[in-house]
Amino acid sequence: MTALDTPAWTPSSWRELPAAQQPDWPDPAALEAALDQIRALPPLVFAGEIRALRERLAQVQAGQAFLLQGGDCAETFGGFTADAIRDKLKVLLQMAVVLTYGAELPVIKVGRIAGQFAKPRSKATESIDGTELPTYRGDAVNSIDFDALARTPDPDRLVHSYHQAAATMNLLRAFTRGGFADLQRVHQWNQEFVASSPQGRRYARIAEEIDRALSFLRACGVDVDNDPTFHTVDFWTSHEALLLGYEEALTRQDSLTGDWYDTSAHLVWVGARTRDLDGAHVHFASGIGNPVAVKLDHRATPEEAEALAARLNPDNVPGRLTLITRVGAEHAEEVLPPLIRGVRDRGLNVVWSCDPMHGNTFTAESGYKTRHFSDVLAEVRAFFDVHAHEGTFPGGLHIELTGEDVTECLGGAQEIADLDLSDRYESACDPRLNNKQGLELAFLVSEMLQG
């Protein structure tokens, strides 16, 4: 299908186009009934907030702010606890403080949270001991348990996802407004990390400098203890817009502007497996007013980026389109320069973000799917180097992490080895950095930013 045959956009017009990675729902009527239920439920975020994030991302594009996006590869129904949400927020806030200091810029904090329940998969089925079943596609679709009933897509899970997203959102709003995000408190956690672990000690200097900066502010008469700037943070939500029925059901018309917004999250992205220019996902994303992102793997070309921008951001609005490169450390130095240069030379307004996770996944000898901290760091380093060389702004990081002390990624100062992976490997999908590795990455990036 060519751009000329593309249907006029409505929240449901994607249905006329090929949609990759959609589950094989056994009962289409039950699916539509579940989507009707969601359609009748309140939005999870509001149009005004979505527009505010777009403005923040425009600042990122202009080099005046830095984007930190992170969270689970896949949220699960079983892992839904207040503590888990708190700890995820905590590590993101800790990282943000360190990055704010390193970049000398405000950090825009976006969670992969409150809706990250669906996964694209490379294989439609999974075989264990001769039994072949549909692959696990995230808790919004089926269960990770390996039996036929559990793996059958169940549309009630979409409704469950909505409710969990709503409860998560509620807690996030409380945490970010109710004192949990207090700058001094977050800084204190970082100091604890520095003091309590050998891997943290390396970063004592940065922690001390932040401490001195706070003392300086106090000495200048800034009321660090009571000024709301230091007590609350803006925190935004995001997920991959994969299950288009769910996204459609939460796409609402803004009464103020008449524009359509996907109110399932502030920002949604199109994944590397669904970014077909003429496919349903890019088409759906083209009509919503949210800031949108697209994942680009090592095969992406400047021409493709240009075509994506033509569809997703024809008016070249700053902050509307984020390109997330996830090319893998081994390809980064080769593929990033022509891509970034090509986009720059075409005058396309984009935020560049680096996902150093998805291009660096491999299966360890133990059989666990993992990533090495050194590869993650190498891709981040290449991203910053190439942008410095091309005169473009390295706008942000997109990280899979958790607030818990899991053992899913190798290396880091904790030196997690293959034999350690089985200790606490809890991810339902891809391996995540644990809280220490996340913070360590932030300190290393902070050092990089300071040259």
- The 2-41 site mask, x for binding ligand PEP (CB under 6 A), equals ----------------------------------------
**Pick 154 or 430: Cβ nearer Co ion:** 430
CB of 399: closest distance to Co ion in angstroms? 10
Contact predicate 290/268, CB 8 Å:
yes
In this chain, which of 271, 289, 412, 431 binds ligand PEP, going by CB under 6 A?
271
Maximum Cα–Cα distance across the chain: 70
Is 94 buried (19+), middle (13-18) or exposed (0-12) by CB count in 10 A?
buried
Residue 371: which residues within 8 A CB-CB, separation 6 or more? 357, 360, 361, 362, 409, 410, 430, 431
Interaction partner, residue 271 (Co ion, ligand PEP, none; CB < 5-8 Å by kind): ligand PEP
Binding mask 198-237 for ligand PEP (x = CB under 6 A): ----------------------------------------
- Residue 125: how many CA atoms within 13 Å on its side-chain side? 8
Burial class (CB in 10 A: 0-12, 13-18, 19+), 120: middle
Distance CA 250, CA 117 (A): 15
| Residue range at the interface with ligand PEP (CB under 6 A); choices 260-268, 270-278, 345-353, 410-418 | 270-278
DSSP β-bridge partners for residue 41: none
Q: Which helix (H) or strand (E) holds 161?
A: helix 156-177
CB of 380 to ligand PEP, least distance (A): 15
Q: Is 295 one of the binding residues for ligand PEP (CB under 6 A)?
A: yes
Strand partners, 69: 110, 398
Binding mask 383-422 for ligand PEP (x = CB under 6 A): ----------------------------------------
Shortest spacing between CB 328 and ligand PEP, in angstroms: 11
Query: Per rule CB under 6 A, is residue 273 in the interface with ligand PEP?
Result: yes
Find the shortest distance in angstroms from Cβ 236 to ligand PEP.
16
Among ligand PEP, Co ion, none, the one that 54 touches (CB under a kind-dependent 5 to 8 A) is none
Minimum CB distance to ligand PEP smaller for 51 or for 408: 408
Q: Is 371 in the site for ligand PEP (CB under 6 A)?
A: no
Pick the binder of ligand PEP from 54, 358, 381, 436 (CB under 6 A).
Answer: 358
DSSP bridge pairs for 397: 68, 354
One-letter amino acid of 156: D
Residue whose CB is nearest to ligand PEP in the complex, by number: 271
Binding mask 66-85 for Co ion (x = CB under 5 A): -------x------------
DSSP symbols for 321-379: EEEEE---HHHHHHHHHHHHHHHHHTT---EEEE--STTSEEE-TTS-EEEBHHHHHHH
- What does 245 bind: ligand PEP, Co ion, none (CB cut-off 5 to 8 Å by kind)? none
Counting contacts by CB under 5 A, is residue 401 touching Co ion? Answer: no
The SS3 assignment for 293 reads strand
Site string for Co ion, 412-431 (x = CB under 5 A): ------------------x-
Among 137, 283, 326, 432, binds ligand PEP (CB under 6 A): 326
Is the distance from CB of 416 to CB of 406 less than 8 angstroms?
no
Which sign, positive or negative, has the C-alpha torsion 71, 115, 394, 274?
Answer: positive
* Residues near ligand PEP (CB under 6 A), total: 10
Q: Which DSSP category does 3 fall into?
A: G
Nearest by Cα to 140 from 120, 126, 124, 122: 120
Q: How far apart are CA 198 and CA 140, in angstroms?
A: 40
Q: How far is Cα of residue 259 from the mean position of the Cα atoms in its chain?
A: 24
**Residue number with CB closer to ligand PEP (194 or 272):** 272
Task: Kindly tell me which residue out of 43, 106, 120, 342 binds ligand PEP, with binding defined by CB under 6 A.
Answer: 120
Smallest separation (angstroms) from ligand PEP to the CB of 116: 8
How far from chain centre, in Å, is Cα 126?
A: 26
Q: Which two tokens stand for residue 401?
A: 């992490």
Q: Tell me the closest approach of the beta carbon of residue 362 to Co ion, in angstroms.
A: 14
Virtual torsion, Cα 161, 162, 165, 171, nearest 10 deg? -130
Point out which residues bind Co ion (CB under 5 A).
73, 430
Which residues of the shown chain bind ligand PEP in the complex (CB under 6 A)? 73, 120, 240, 271-273, 295, 326, 358, 430
